[in-house]
Amino acid sequence: MNLGIKLGSAVAAVGLVVAALAGCASSSGSGGAGSSSSSGSSSGGGSGGASGGTITLGMVVPLTGSSAAIGPYMQNGAQLAVNEINAAGGVLGKQLKLDVQDGACDAKSAATAANKLVSDKVTVSVGGYCSGATLPTLPIFNGAGIPMIIPAANSDDLVNQKLPLVFLINGTGTQQAQAALKFMTKEGAKKVALMDDNTSYSTNITKNVAGLMAKAPDGPQQAIHESVTAGESDYSANVNAVMKANPDFVYWTGYYQEGGLIIKQLRQAGYTGKIMVADGSVDQKLIQIAGQNNAQGVFATMTQTPQTIPNGQAWIDKYKKAFHADPGPYSTQAYDAVRVAAEAMKNANSTDGKAIADALMKIDGFQLFSGPLKFTPEHTLSSGGFLILVVKGDAFDVQDQLQG
């Protein structure tokens, strides 16, 4: 995916922090890139210590199913951080190991994967893409005393339970809704069709947008709210309902598989207004499914991708050298999740789950690709960091950084 923009020097700052993690470690080496589990023995999960010479981080991501394209981006991003930290000496004198399980963006599969990671005695969970599949893993990890640093899933439902070991390093659904409405207002939208797929992630955004619209009667207003059934191929009934409402702006908040079909069917039905998708649809497969002509000019609310991070080409080159493939959405967030886990263990001088969680709350200014990290009392980022992308040709490009 080519987003091609250079914004500053965050990559260099991140690199310095990775090197600094070696200050509390004494061993060296690197994890195996791109495999489901790098070499080394399992660690002792959130109960206070790693076994042998390794600390195991667990990751539940979709490697099968409709969102399978995203899983390898996240797995490789996390593995790259593991490799770099291990090469710099590891954490607490031990090497990191990544244990990856397939959640398939399915609640039952994700719960099974989480239980497997608990039995593998992981120390920290650094996965989570689909919110609906991540939600059932929360009580599993939290009950086992394993902190969760969630890199992608971002429904407010994930933190509304106020579980002490759950942390998000992606902008929330509320923050994404605020960004969406800000851009729709700038674009002069009057009548907005909100479309979701009935999942926690998707409905969280549409409900927040609808609530914000209701509080601003002079701005864009909801023309219709349509919920579709994920996994179908014909959305003509939903599209016809939207067409009858005559919106000038459509905001789809589900994933790319259904999003591509909805864009295609809206255009086939004669819709000529503006379309925007949420971050779960930001992938080249959206363009492929919709058809390149149909997808032109489609906007997206999204946090940073490898191609929009400051001076990101150096990091992209490292990723490509390690995995012989281009990075994609959430590869940098997964990379950062591992780094945050390592930083918290270093500061806590422990692999105990509660000690790690306490250390996470004390982090202030640790450099992520999205900026300096400081968690809110709700265990979320203080700023969502959303920007607006737009489809140009066969890729997404930056449209509006929503500054000011």
Please give the share of the chain, as a percent, with pLDDT higher than 90.
82
Locate the domains of the chain by residue range.
Answer: 10-171+306-373, 173-302+387-400
Q: Cα–Cα distance between 33 and 53 in angstroms, integer? A: 19
How many of the other CB atoms lie within 10 Å of CB of 395? 15
Least confident of 16-20, 172-176, 220-224: 16-20
10-171+306-373 and 173-302+387-400 have identical folds: yes
Q: Cα–Cα distance between 117 and 95 in angstroms, integer? A: 18
Q: Which pLDDT value is given to residue 304?
A: 85
Prediction pTM value? 0.85
The residue type at 48: G
pLDDT tens-place string over residues 324-368: 999 999 999 999 999 999 999 999 999 999 999 999 999 999 999
Q: Cα–Cα distance between 382 and 79 in angstroms, integer? A: 27
How many of the other CB atoms lie within 10 Å of CB of 398? 19
Q: Which pLDDT value is given to residue 308?
A: 80
Q: Which pLDDT value is given to residue 37?
A: 55
pLDDT band at 179 (very low <50, low <70, confident <90, very high): very high
pLDDT tens-place string over residues 186-208: 999 999 999 999 999 999 999 99
Q: Which pLDDT value is given to residue 404?
A: 62
Q: Which pLDDT value is given to residue 4?
A: 34
pLDDT band at 52 (very low <50, low <70, confident <90, very high): low
Superfamily of domain 10-171+306-373: Response regulator (3.40.50.2300)
Please give the share of the chain, as a percent, with pLDDT higher than 70.
87
Mean pLDDT, the chain, as a whole number? 89
Q: What is the mean pLDDT of residues 356-382?
A: 95
Tokens matching residue 395: 């890729």
- Residue range 173-302+387-400 in CATH 3.40.50.2300: yes
